[in-house]
Amino acid sequence: PDEDGSRLWLRYPLVADRRLLDEYRRDLRYVVAPDTDGPLGSAAGELSRALTSLLGRDVPIRRKVDGAGPLVLRTAASDAGPESYTLRRGRVDGTAAVIITGGADRGALYGAFHLLRLVQTHVTLDRLDVAERPRNPLRLANHWDNLDGSVERGYAGRSVFGFAELPELTERHSTYARALASVGLNGTVINNVNANAQFIAPEMLFKLQPLAALLRGWGISLYLSLNFASPMILGGLTTADPFDAGVKDWWRTKITEIYRAIPDLGGFLVKADSEGQPGPISYGRTHADGANLIAEAAAPHGGIVMWRAFVHDFNALEWSNKAYETFKPLDGKFADNAIVQIKNGPIDFQVREPAHPLFGALPNTNAMMELQVTQEYTGQSTHLCYLVPQWQEVYGFDTHAEGSGTTVAKIISGRTYGRELGGVAGVMNLGDDTDWTRHQLAAANTHGYGRLAWNPGLKARDIAEEWTRQTFGNDQREVAVITGLLLGSWQTYLDYTNPLGVSFLIKGDHFTPSPQTNTGWHQADAEGTGFDRTVATGNGFTGFYHRPVSDRFENLSDCPDELLLFLHHVPYGHRLKSGKTVIQHVYDSHFDGAAEVGRMRDRWRELRGRIDAKRWADTAERFDRHREQAILWRDTIAGYYFAASRVLDERRSWVQV
């Protein structure tokens, strides 16, 4: 199984470095942990099994210190919170020990996985001194999995949960829970936001109980997506109006029933009045009214509701503005246990968007960010596109809402406005394919999402390298090549698919290049291209940002090149900061980007023989298809822009004559 990707990054092969192996064997002879279940018990079990395999000798669990080389797992309340931990050397009962101390059970579990990471990536424990705590309270997986097992925007097979077979659980369920816990995720919404109301029917609640219990053991709270019309669908009421007494009653009773089945359920996620989903607007109520209906029913049980801000009318002109215009006036009207869940950008997980203007616009409302780990618009499971650099750009975006330094990371963590609730949700890319993500390297996104949710300040290079070492081993050459492939891949993908911020150059499959399908987004004509979102002459979007961001976006001369055509309509001859004209940049980036994919493919091929045959071959096949697709993108976009502009490429002749 180590060679089919089924273990993700939870691989524990014998430590190859002899010197380190001796050190680890000396210091990690047995695990000391109280006899308990829950996350602390899971941590002890994981340490024992993993170290036994990594060190090639039995590393048992004992109840107390008894001889040299104990690895002590314990908890102690800490100012850094229950999810924090430290890893230190010290003495326990007079014996030199390696000590993992969690602020509580979850913290100890995260500390255990940290220690395993060090061993997996061959770091000496000599000067061990680690103190960690998560920056985001909520670190969630969001699955768009349907009751019938299909996955909306899933590219790696069917649902990992096996809804039809529940309550029966399999090894996959525990690997799933371990993988999430290993990167510090603490919750999962298991069903699609386009929600089937049957998920909260009594039969389903019964089926979900063992799954919830398994997840609980790994510190993961289960959450459910709700269909806002459930009172009608399940309850036979004639309305779902949040102000209707019968509707309120129905939700109170239903949510009490849900909590009776799953007492520690985290809460709910709702997509309302968006893309055909029911919601409060049809009853003349607001999104806050809708959210508060669920929030009030969940509050007595300690539950929360995450209410999505993703609303739009499928028309390019308003898409960037609708969510801001809808939610900004509702600031302060949401219940304390409600959170507005905002996609990273104002459109829809495009390859590059500016950060959503709602970040920093809701000082009196809990807010969290939604990222997309599944690569809907970023090459699905065919193109390699490592998204950690994209996410970091958003986390690091300075909204200037409370002066400079008011980054998105700070806002969603709750720190800017002193809010207890906040965090991040990632739309997952896992499926029932043996390797979970179909493209073996796409699991780096799953891992990177979790690591950044824990700490958005981590360096992309470190995260990529950590995953590579865990997944493929510590061979220097391999690590350098794979880390390099990951880190450059988003920029390369941008180069051949996203001219200066233009989005939606695709067919309805969100994969095939097709600039003629939705011309409203790029507005290319004979003279120029780009979408005017300025206040002066466009749809007014730039005005949603705080100064100086709004000025920088509004003024052509200050606007960053990479967002130019997202924010402005310009002539093809317009000069970028790089000195190139827009049209020449479009040609160059597409040709250079596609050529780079060819080199990526070659670099992977050079790893032949250094990586186990199956994972190498699977990935080599992905790179072949990736290269074909990149060429298709290049020719489609460059050709389209040539046809529109009739400006020749001054650097290359496209057809050899």
Catalytic residue among 27, 105, 376, 495: 376
Q: How many residues bind ligand GCW (CB under 6 A)?
A: 11
Q: What would the two tokens of residue 188 be?
A: 């999962």
Cβ-based nearer residue to ligand GCW, 391 or 553: 391
Which positions from 376 through 415 interact with ligand GCW, judged by CB under 6 A? Answer: 376
Amino acid 546 reads H
Cβ-based nearer residue to ligand GCW, 376 or 398: 376
Contacts of residue 348, defined as CB under 8 A and 6 or more positions apart, other chains included, come to: 310, 312, 319, 377
Cβ-based nearer residue to ligand GCW, 230 or 470: 230
In angstroms, give the least distance from the CB of 268 to ligand GCW. Answer: 15
Angle, nearest 10°, between helix axes 105-120 and 171-182?
90
- For residue 472, which of 7, 34, 53, 97 has the smallest C-alpha distance? 7
Residue 203 appears among annotated catalytic residues: no
Contacts of residue 639, defined as CB under 8 A and 6 or more positions apart, other chains included, come to: none
Residue 376 appears among annotated catalytic residues: yes
In angstroms, give the least distance from the CB of 271 to ligand GCW. Answer: 5
Place of tokens 């045959």: 613
- For residue 467, which of 154, 145, 256, 182 has the smallest C-alpha distance? 182
Q: 253-272 mask for ligand GCW (x: CB under 6 A)? A: ------------------x-
153 lies in the binding site for ligand GCW (CB under 6 A): yes
In angstroms, give the least distance from the CB of 253 to ligand GCW. Answer: 28
Which string of b and e fits 584-594 if b means at least 16 CB within 10 Å?
Answer: bbbbbbbbebb
DSSP element (H, E) containing 624: helix 613-645
147 lies in the binding site for ligand GCW (CB under 6 A): no
- For residue 274, which of 223, 362, 175, 340 has the smallest C-alpha distance? 340
478 lies in the binding site for ligand GCW (CB under 6 A): no
Catalytic residue among 249, 348, 561, 624: 348
195 lies in the binding site for ligand GCW (CB under 6 A): no
Q: 346-375 mask for ligand GCW (x: CB under 6 A)? A: --xx--------------------------
Residue from 144, 176, 490, 572 touching ligand GCW (CB under 6 A): that is 144
Q: What is the DSSP letter of 576?
A: P
In angstroms, give the least distance from the CB of 187 to ligand GCW. Answer: 18
Q: What would the two tokens of residue 580 be?
A: 């190139």
CA 592 distance to own-chain centroid: 28
CA 616 distance to own-chain centroid: 26
In angstroms, give the least distance from the CB of 343 to ligand GCW. Answer: 7
Measured CA to CA, the distance from residue 385 to residue 377 in angstroms comes to 10
Residue 171 appears among annotated catalytic residues: no
Residue from 6, 194, 517, 519 touching ligand GCW (CB under 6 A): that is 194
Q: How many residues does this entry show for the chain?
A: 657
Catalytic residue among 58, 93, 168, 275: 275
Q: In the complex, which residues of this chain contact ligand GCW (CB under 6 A)?
A: 144, 152-153, 193-194, 271, 275, 310, 348-349, 376
Catalytic residues: 275, 348, 376
